[in-house]
């Protein structure tokens, strides 16, 4: 019934033409009243239902933010330490428009890593009109400060997802639940991430292509990485694998601790080469390449949207929460979306396509709310089924263990929050974009290894190592430990005793977990978060690989480059692992199960695959199977784990997705 009414509205308004001139940014626009979308009062499920947990930005305890408040040059108001809105990046409609129109060529849902580049490319050359809808708000001055990266996970800049309780993981975390924050901002997770720039290896992409995903081999995707990139990397000025004219700035981190060099020196002792890990010769160690620009965070929004705010044909609407894709059940075509903004509900139509770029949790969530997903599952919530697909049935993630700590007998080697929180350091950062405030919250170096548990042939890693010049104790438990929801009693017992000595950690990332998770609807209410199941460490190989990784890290630190600073493994037994001998395999397994931290790379929930793949949700051109004019373009389409953190891959998917759409509609 509802579908029919919609279709009628759709056909009536199809013939309204634009009253504004698409050819000139500066031209004044005249928009007829009837071209605007008319909001309707909310019925049924409305915004801010009490079940959605709300968090306040000003409750985060941070000595760095405190000192920023006291830095006279920044002119902050100490009475209103609003880290969410200071110099907040505003997205207003271009001049001449007073609200969203009733119809656009393309509607992009989610201005994240992928959505930002996608919307910017589709609106290039003013050949098509684009509406970009984003649930979050613009970045603030604070989100651009790299050292503050972990702060925003506990603010309104993040969706506060929790994994369903899984016995035997996240045992040391609040209510034994793993915390899965995701970016909620114009720029998406690239506004709160750690800025590590990684692309995945030729083997990864060639395997994806070999399973029937034409157009996704390394040779195919490399040009898209290069297209976006504006690299400024020492020693790589002539590398053919880096772009120099793109919008996304990739730089060396200007701040380096002495431990970063020790990490590379130690790796050398074990025969690891120093490499450009974003080239085909990736198997080695390196300083991190980061998505920063002059020391400040280069989010996808900053790279692709900031300079395009005036485009008359690109309407960016923050604080706009999409609740449904409108689909004509007879033609099985996406015709628009419904979204909530400031308590009002709008239905806007797409003349050409609707594109979901809402990330690996919300894109599948929106598909299911719109009738696309596992048939029985949708039916059990009373959702009319439009297309039976395995939405949400695959989910992979990269887990890590931030719990190791090595203490030092020297000082000034690590970033201790208490010590670096000085007005001088703030001014240094504000003026020159360097100093400790430009550190990626301590993460400095990266290395790929293959443990002896791996069954892969050749140089294909199963573990990524991340060298850091900080540990969980470096911020006195106020930020990083809180960001993973580590229990206070756990922190106090294990880490508080080393707050007054310098300490650091080396993280591992389990690159190719065999454990597979999934996600499902919690209810038919779009404001209810879906149920998330990580199924971490349910495959024994994952446990064995994680344990090997820890032993490898300990070996790496037990070398002269680290010894000279007195680096010593901190041997405090975890309260959750008292029944195992410290350092035994069982102990390390228990340790990883106590502090099981995601690195936030959930993927595959709208898996890409050829028609022969029964688990695929989108085809290799990212079109949703069985539904016309609907694509998913974000990290959720990645069909399998890759040797990478997923920001740059999501941006690449956005770039490639834009080209696929342009080809379909002959917009060149």
Ligand X SMILES: *[C@@H]1O[C@H](CO)[C@@H](O)[C@H](O)[C@H]1NC(C)=O
DSSP codes of every residue in 413-428: SS--HHHH--HHHHHH
Quick check: 448 and 643 in contact, CB under 8 A? yes
Q: Nearest residue to ligand X, using CB?
A: 566
d(CA 219, CA 210): 13
Shortest Å, Cβ 142 to ligand FAD: 15
d(CA 557, CA 404): 11
Indicate the residue among 314 and 550 with the shorter CB distance to ligand X.
550
Quick check: 335 and 350 in contact, CB under 8 A? yes
Enclosing H/E stretch for 353: strand 344-356
322 annotated as ligand-binding: yes
Q: Which residues are CB-contacts of 36 (< 8 A; sequence separation ≥ 6)?
A: 98, 99, 100, 101, 102
d(CA 359, CA 116): 12
Shortest Å, Cβ 194 to ligand X: 28
Other CB atoms within 10 A of residue 16 CB? 13
For residue 371, the SS3 value is coil
- 566 interacts with, out of ligand FAD, ligand X, none, CB within 5 to 8 A per kind: ligand X
- 650 interacts with, out of ligand FAD, ligand X, none, CB within 5 to 8 A per kind: ligand FAD
Indicate the residue among 455 and 579 with the shorter CB distance to ligand X.
455
Indicate the residue among 268 and 640 with the shorter CB distance to ligand FAD.
640
Of 406-465, binders to ligand X (CB under 6 A) are 409-410, 452
Shortest Å, Cβ 33 to ligand FAD: 26
Q: Which stretch binds ligand X (CB under 6 A): 218-226, 440-448, 504-512, 558-566?
A: 558-566
Taking CA atoms, 227 is separated from 208, 230, 234, 642, 665, in Å, by: 21, 8, 19, 20, 21
Q: Which residues are CB-contacts of 131 (< 8 A; sequence separation ≥ 6)?
A: 100, 101, 104, 106, 107, 108, 315, 317, 348
For residue 369, the SS3 value is helix
| DSSP 8-state class, residue 544 | H
d(CA 297, CA 299): 6
d(CA 202, CA 281): 9
Shortest Å, Cβ 89 to ligand FAD: 13
Q: Which stretch binds ligand X (CB under 6 A): 175-183, 291-299, 352-360, 560-568?
A: 560-568
Report which of 633, 621, 608, 631 is spatially closest to residue 118, judged by C-alpha positions.
Answer: 633
- 357 interacts with, out of ligand FAD, ligand X, none, CB within 5 to 8 A per kind: ligand FAD
Is 645 a residue of the active site? yes
- 193 interacts with, out of ligand FAD, ligand X, none, CB within 5 to 8 A per kind: ligand FAD
Out of 563, 572, 578, 663, the residue judged to bind ligand X by CB under 6 A? 563
Query: Taking CB under 6 A as the rule, does residue 379 contact ligand X?
Result: no
Indicate the residue among 319 and 568 with the shorter CB distance to ligand X.
568
Query: Pairing mode, if any, of strands 463-468 and 443-449?
Result: antiparallel
Is 601 a residue of the active site? yes
Taking CA atoms, 456 is separated from 207, 449, 652, in Å, by: 13, 12, 27
Out of 4, 273, 564, 578, the residue judged to bind ligand X by CB under 6 A? 564
Shortest Å, Cβ 552 to ligand X: 6
Q: Which long-range contacts (CB under 8 A, 24 or more apart) does 43-47 make?
A: 43/345, 45/323, 45/524, 45/525, 45/526, 45/527, 46/340, 46/343, 46/527, 47/321, 47/340, 47/343, 47/527
Indicate the residue among 107 and 498 with the shorter CB distance to ligand FAD.
107
Q: Note the residues at the interface with ligand FAD (CB under 6 A).
A: 109-115, 133-136, 153, 181-185, 188-190, 192-196, 198, 321-322, 357-360, 362, 366, 600-601, 634-635, 645-648, 650
Report which of 109, 655, 657 is spatially closest to residue 361, judged by C-alpha positions.
Answer: 109
Q: Which stretch binds ligand X (CB under 6 A): 41-49, 478-486, 562-570, 588-596?
A: 562-570
- 409 interacts with, out of ligand FAD, ligand X, none, CB within 5 to 8 A per kind: ligand X
Indicate the residue among 81 and 188 with the shorter CB distance to ligand FAD.
188
Shortest Å, Cβ 476 to ligand X: 23
- Tell me the β-bridge partners of 569: 406
| Number of residues near ligand X (by CB under 6 A) | 7
Out of 53, 70, 551, 578, the residue judged to bind ligand X by CB under 6 A? 551
Indicate the residue among 270 and 432 with the shorter CB distance to ligand X.
270
Q: Which stretch binds ligand X (CB under 6 A): 123-131, 534-542, 561-569, 631-639?
A: 561-569
Shortest Å, Cβ 545 to ligand X: 11
For residue 382, the SS3 value is coil
- 635 interacts with, out of ligand X, ligand FAD, none, CB within 5 to 8 A per kind: ligand FAD
Indicate the residue among 566 and 583 with the shorter CB distance to ligand X.
566
- Catalytic (active-site) positions: 601, 645
Query: Where is the binding site, in residues?
Result: 322
Residues that bind ligand X (CB under 6 A): 409-410, 452, 551, 563-564, 566
Query: Where is the binding site for FAD, in residues?
Result: 322
């Amino acid at each position: 019934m509802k579908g029919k009414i919609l279709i009628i509205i759709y056909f009536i308004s199809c013939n309204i033409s634009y009253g504004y001139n698409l050819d000139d940014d500066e031209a004044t626009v005249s928009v007829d009243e009837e071209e605007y979308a008319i909001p309707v009062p909310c019925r049924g499920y409305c915004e801010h239902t009490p079940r959605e947990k709300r968090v306040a930005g000003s409750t985060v305890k941070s000595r760095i933010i405190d000192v920023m408040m006291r830095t006279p040059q920044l002119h902050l108001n100490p009475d209103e330490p609003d880290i969410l809105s200071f110099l907040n990046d505003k997205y207003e409609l271009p001049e001449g428009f007073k609200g969203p129109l009733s119809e656009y060529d393309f509607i992009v849902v989610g201005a994240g890593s992928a959505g930002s580049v996608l919307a910017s490319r589709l609106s290039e050359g003013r050949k098509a009109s684009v509406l970009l809808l984003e649930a979050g708000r613009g970045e603030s001055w604070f989100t651009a400060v790299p050292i503050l990266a972990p702060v925003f996970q506990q603010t309104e800049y993040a969706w506060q997802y929790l994994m369903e309780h899984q016995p035997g993981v996240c045992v040391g975390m609040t209510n034994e639940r793993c915390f899965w924050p995701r970016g909620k901002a114009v720029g998406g997770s690239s506004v709160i991430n750690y800025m590590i720039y990684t692309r995945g290896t030729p083997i990864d992409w060639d395997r994806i292509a070999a399973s029937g995903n034409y157009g996704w081999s390394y040779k195919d995707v490399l040009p898209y990485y290069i297209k976006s990139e504006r690299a400024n990397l020492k020693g790589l000025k002539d590398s053919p694998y880096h772009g120099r004219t793109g919008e996304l700035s990739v730089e060396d981190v200007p701040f380096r601790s002495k431990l970063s060099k020790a990490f590379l020196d130690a790796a050398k002792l074990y025969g690891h080469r120093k490499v450009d890990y974003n080239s085909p010769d990736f198997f080695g160690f390196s300083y991190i390449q980061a998505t920063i620009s002059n020391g400040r965070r280069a989010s996808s929004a900053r790279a692709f949207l900031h300079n395009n705010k005036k485009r008359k044909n690109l309407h960016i609407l923050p604080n706009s929460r999409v609740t449904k894709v409108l689909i004509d059940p007879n033609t099985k075509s996406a015709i628009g979306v419904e979204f909530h903004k400031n308590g009002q509900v709008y239905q806007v139509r797409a003349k050409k396509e609707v594109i979901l770029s809402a990330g690996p949790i919300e894109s599948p969530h929106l598909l299911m709310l719109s009738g696309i997903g596992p048939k029985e599952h949708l039916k059990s919530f009373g959702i009319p089924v439009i297309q039976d697909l395995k939405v949400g049935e695959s989910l992979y993630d990269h887990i890590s263990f931030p719990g190791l700590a090595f203490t030092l007998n020297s000082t000034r080697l690590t970033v201790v929050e208490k010590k670096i929180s000085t007005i001088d350091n703030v001014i240094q950062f504000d003026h020159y974009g360097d100093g400790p405030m430009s550190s990626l919250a301590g993460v400095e170096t990266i290395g790929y290894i293959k443990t002896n548990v791996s069954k892969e042939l050749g140089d294909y890693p199963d573990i990524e190592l991340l060298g850091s010049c900080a540990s969980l104790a470096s911020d006195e438990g106020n930020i990083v430990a809180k960001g993973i929801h580590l229990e206070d009693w756990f922190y106090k017992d294990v880490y508080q005793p080393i707050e007054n000595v310098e300490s650091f950690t080396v993280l591992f990332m389990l690159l190719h977990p065999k454990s597979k998770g999934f996600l499902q609807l919690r209810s038919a209410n779009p404001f209810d978060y879906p149920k998330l199941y990580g199924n971490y460490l349910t495959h024994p190989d994952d446990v064995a690989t994680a344990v090997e990784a820890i032993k490898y890290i300990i070996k790496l630190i037990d070398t002269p480059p680290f010894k000279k600073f007195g680096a010593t493994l901190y041997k405090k037994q975890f309260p959750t692992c008292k029944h195992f001998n410290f350092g035994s395999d069982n102990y390390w397994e228990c340790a990883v199960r106590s502090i099981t931290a995601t690195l936030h790379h959930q993927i595959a929930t709208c898996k890409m695959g050829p028609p022969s793949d029964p688990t695929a949700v989108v085809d290799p051109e990212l079109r949703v199977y069985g539904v016309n004019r609907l694509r998913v373009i974000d990290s959720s389409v990645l069909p399998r784990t890759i040797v990478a953190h997923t920001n740059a891959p999501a941006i690449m998917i956005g770039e490639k997705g834009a080209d696929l759409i342009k080809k379909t509609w002959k917009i060149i």
